[in-house]
Amino acid sequence: MINVQMDLISSAFMEALVSVILKVSGFALSDISDNRAAEFDELAACMCLNSKKGGILFVSAKKPDIKAICSYMLGVPDDDVLDSDIEDVLCELVNMTAGTAKLQLTGTDYMFSLSTPFLIRGDNLSIITKKRASLVSKVLGNGEVTLKLTIVY
């Protein structure tokens, strides 16, 4: 049951992130989890998923990848993108992803409410969970940009 539950939840969030990135930047991403090590966490936007069980969503990337997406979203050259823009865009991406996934999961046993998005910065961020929590990470990319989606539920 737990695997089916996490498959449904992770699929909803992965589809949501792929859809959001395509809409806001035109980048078409696919799951490249098997092709690239996921040790690139530098910036992570997070959002708590409040439900019976509860969880947290992370969308993380290296700064140049978010900067490229930010450039397309804001319609400005890469050189004009500020650090504050990058942070805002990453938080907005996690917000839009969670909102889209929430709509996809409406009417299921996995409905949730959302917290305000927040940002974590650091090198080689790692997530360690207790025994009862499930963690799924997916690396999404297209050769130009790479993001990591992590769900702890």
pLDDT given for residue 109 in this prediction: 85
Task: Tell me the average pLDDT of the chain.
Answer: 88
CA distance 87 to 93: 10
3-class secondary structure, 9:
helix
Tell me how far CA of residue 137 lies from CA of 24, 31, 45, 68, 85, in angstroms: 22, 10, 14, 22, 25
Domain containing 13 equals 2-152
pLDDT at 1: 43
**What's the pLDDT tens digit per position in 91-141?**
999 999 999 999 999 988 888 899 999 999 887 777 777 777 888 889 999
Number of domains in the chain: 1
CATH number at residue 49: 3.40.1550.10
